[in-house]
């Protein structure tokens, strides 16, 4: 079977031809790069969506994956804008995921908010606020007494030391 070549209706002039072949080359290169990134992922190498650096995904704590793949270094810049775009439920889920990832791999600590006391932040690298899991953010336990885990604030501060 012969493929149909040119139906004589193509309006492509010489100038457009140069443009379109350049476009073709660029999109082919782009396609090849995406193939390579896919192949690297199979080998366990993934790319940070923010700084475009490559990381071995088996390396503990190198990459955080939540819709997007983000390296540890890019988290402080990425998290505020990313979390703002999420709905309440998705944000709480992402918060919990990030909080436990930071605790597992980056020595993050849970800091209780003490009412009337300004939190010590001099030693903090990155920090985020997450809903208290114990009282589901209400600050109160079932019996109506103040949640001891978050001191009644309903939120916890997750702090990664510098
Ligand atoms: Zn990065
Ligand atoms: Zn609580």
pLDDT one-digit tens code per residue, 42-60 = 899 999 999 999 999 889 9
Task: Tell me what pLDDT residue 9 has.
Answer: 52
Higher local confidence (pLDDT), 37 or 120? 37
The more confident residue out of 59 and 20 is 59
Q: Cα of 138 to ligand 1 centre, how many Å?
A: 35
Of the candidates 83, 78, 127, which has an alpha carbon nearest to the alpha carbon of residue 102? 127
pLDDT for 75 equals: 96
Ligand closest to Cα of 153 equals: 2
> Is the per-residue pLDDT at 119 higher than 70?
no
Ligand 2 centroid distance, CA of 77 (Å): 27
- C-alpha 72 – ligand 2 centre gap (Å): 27
Asked whether residue 11 carries a pLDDT value surpassing 60, the answer given is: no
Q: How far is the CA of 54 from the centre of ligand 2 (A)?
A: 38
The mean predicted confidence, pLDDT, of the chain is: 86
Q: What is the DSSP-derived secondary structure letter of residue 140?
A: B
pLDDT for the residue numbered 136: 87
Are 159 and 124 in contact by the 8 Å Cβ rule? The answer is yes
Q: Is the pLDDT of residue 8 over 60?
A: no
> How far, in Å, from the CA of 34 to the mean position of ligand 1?
18
Ligand 2 center to 11 CA (angstroms) = 69
Residue 107 tokens read as 């020595």
- pLDDT over 90 at 79, yes or no: yes
- Closest C-alpha to 159, from 102, 104, 117: 102
Q: What is the pTM of this model?
A: 0.74
Cα-to-centroid distance, 69 and ligand 1 (Å): 8
pLDDT higher than 90, residue 62: yes
**74: CA distance to ligand 1 center in Å?**
4
Number of separate helices (H) and strands (E) present in the chain: 3, 7
Cα(125) to centroid(ligand 1), Å = 16
> How many CB atoms sit inside 10 A of residue 159's CB?
21
The ligand with the least distance to the CA atom of 147 is 2
Q: Is the pLDDT of residue 103 over 90?
A: yes
Beta bridge partners of 70: 64
3-state secondary structure of 126: strand
């Amino acid at each position: 079977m012969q493929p149909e070549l040119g139906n004589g209706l193509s309006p492509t002039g010489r100038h457009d031809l140069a443009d379109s072949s350049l476009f073709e080359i660029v999109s082919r290169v782009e396609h090849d790069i995406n193939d390579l990134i896919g192949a690297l992922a199979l080998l366990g190498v993934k790319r940070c969506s923010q700084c475009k650096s490559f990381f071995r995904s088996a390396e503990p704590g190198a990459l955080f994956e939540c819709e997007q793949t983000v390296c540890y270094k890019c988290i402080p810049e990425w998290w505020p804008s990313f979390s703002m775009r999420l709905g309440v439920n998705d944000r709480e889920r992402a918060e919990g995921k990030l909080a436990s990832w930071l605790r597992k791999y980056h020595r993050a600590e849970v800091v209780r908010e003490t009412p009337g006391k300004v939190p010590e932040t001099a030693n903090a690298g990155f920090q985020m606020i997450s809903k208290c899991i114990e009282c589901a953010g209400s600050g109160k336990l079932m019996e109506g007494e103040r949640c001891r885990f978050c001191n009644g604030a309903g939120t916890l501060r997750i702090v990664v030391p510098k």
